[in-house]
Amino acid sequence: MTEMGSSTWDIIRFCIGIACLGIGCLLTLLGAIGMLRLRDVYQRMHGAGIVDTGGAGLVLFGLLLLSPDWQTSVRLIMIGAVLVFTAPTATHAIARAARFAGIRPELAHEEKETSS
Amino acid sequence: MRPILISTLLMYGLWLALSDQYTPLFLSLGAGSAVGVSLIAYRMGVLDAEGLPLSILWRLPRITAWLVWEILKSNIIVGRYILNPRAVAPVVMRIKATQKSKAALVTHANFITLTPGTVTIAVNEAQNEILVHGLSRAFLDEAMMNPQINLLEGK
């Protein structure tokens, strides 16, 4: 996109970029549906997790492939890096708050001891 | 002295990447800010193994591919559960962590949350245990990240 005319690489990255954006949007939609359909606060966080990881990740990766210059790419990578560190922290904060508020997760089995 | 130097270099690298101004004036202002921020951070006492966990940060790229693959895989699995919420069978489990440093333990807890389907509810530092909520038993294996996280500690 920066040079005149379009090379094969430009066409390839355009197609893959658009595909990533599309899949990312679908995953975000799926996460939103999960927020509505899942039953308690802990389960809904897993739906939000899809939006944070697959949704945002694929959209950012798609934009990275479509980015016109390296400055834009650097900023997109920075956004991704910040998301990777903040998204789980925020999710954990909600889980912790829910636990302190005394909300019991709906469980299929009793609490289990596991080690790896 | 070494943490200040490394922090200054990282800060200046970030500044260079984000600034589109490369005139001598701006370059020196950037260098000045990088040194200033590092000195302030050092005075605040946050440039320690927790604030700047270099040993973990520079090993992070080694497990990035594995992490991205895990995230993509569990995105698909959680997506299937969302489309079929009846199959959801939530579990809460305790996972023994084998990490030595706090930074690695936090990374472990964060990576568990980062993969959809499992969320860290609490970390018990004294017993090196992580309390995890999973969307179903199928996610139990996914939370077993000890081998990969231990790579970050150089084991």
How many domains does chain B divide into?
2
Q: Do residue B103 and residue B134 come from a single domain?
A: yes
Query: SS3 of B128, please?
Result: coil
Q: Does residue B52 lie within any of the structural domains?
A: no
Contact residues for A73 (Cβ-Cβ < 8 A; gap 6+): A64, A67
pLDDT tens-digit readout, B89-145: 888 888 888 888 888 888 889 899 988 888 999 888 888 888 888 888 888 776 678
Q: Do residues B66 and B40 both lie within one domain?
A: no
Selection from B88, B43, B89, B68 nearest residue B148 by Cα: B68
Please count the other Cβ atoms lying within 10 Å of the Cβ belonging to residue B152: 23
Same domain for B83 and B39, yes or no, is no
Across the range B12-27, mean pLDDT stands at 90
From the list A31, A43, A35, A32, the residue with the least C-alpha distance to A108 is: A43
Domain match, B127 and B75 both: yes
Q: Are residues B92 and B34 in the same domain?
A: no
Tens digit of pLDDT for each residue in A29-50?
A: 999 999 898 888 888 999 888 9
CA distances A33 to A20, A37, A75, B79, B115, Å, are: 20, 6, 30, 10, 18
Band (pLDDT 50/70/90 cuts) for residue A116 is very low
Q: Which of B69, B75, B96 to mutate to test the interface with A (most CBs of A within 10 A)?
A: B75
- Which residues in chain A are contacts of B144 at CB distance < 8 A? 116
Would strands B91-96 and A112-114 be described as parallel, antiparallel, or unpaired? parallel
Distance CA B80, CA B83 (A): 5
Residues 6+ apart with CB under 8 A from A8: none
Residue of B nearest to A75 (CA): B18
The rounded mean pLDDT for chain A is: 86
CB proximity list for A94: less than 8 A, separation 6 or greater: A41, A45
Percent of the residues in chain A that have a pLDDT greater than 90, as a whole number: 48
On whether both B77 and B29 belong to a single domain, the answer is: no
User: Lowest mean pLDDT: which of A3-17, A35-49, A84-98?
Assistant: A3-17
Is the domain of B73 the same as that of B146?
A: yes
Highest mean pLDDT among A88-92, A103-107, A110-114, B142-146: A88-92
Kindly report the pTM of this predicted structure: 0.83
Same structural domain, B76 and B115: yes
Q: Are residues B74 and B144 in the same domain?
A: yes
For residues B147 and B80, state if they share a domain. yes
Domain co-membership, B34 together with B105: no
Identify whether residues B119 and B88 lie together within a single domain.
yes
> Which residue range is the domain that position B69 belongs to?
62-152
Kindly state whether residue B126 falls inside one of the protein's structural domains: yes
Q: Is the pLDDT of residue A6 over 80?
A: no
Q: Is residue B34 part of a domain?
A: yes
Q: Which percentage of chain B shows pLDDT scores above 70?
A: 98
- With CA atoms as reference, the chain B residue closest to A41 would be B133
Taking a contact as any Cβ pair under 8 Å apart, which residues of chain B between 18 and 77 contact chain A?
Answer: 18, 20, 68, 71-72, 75
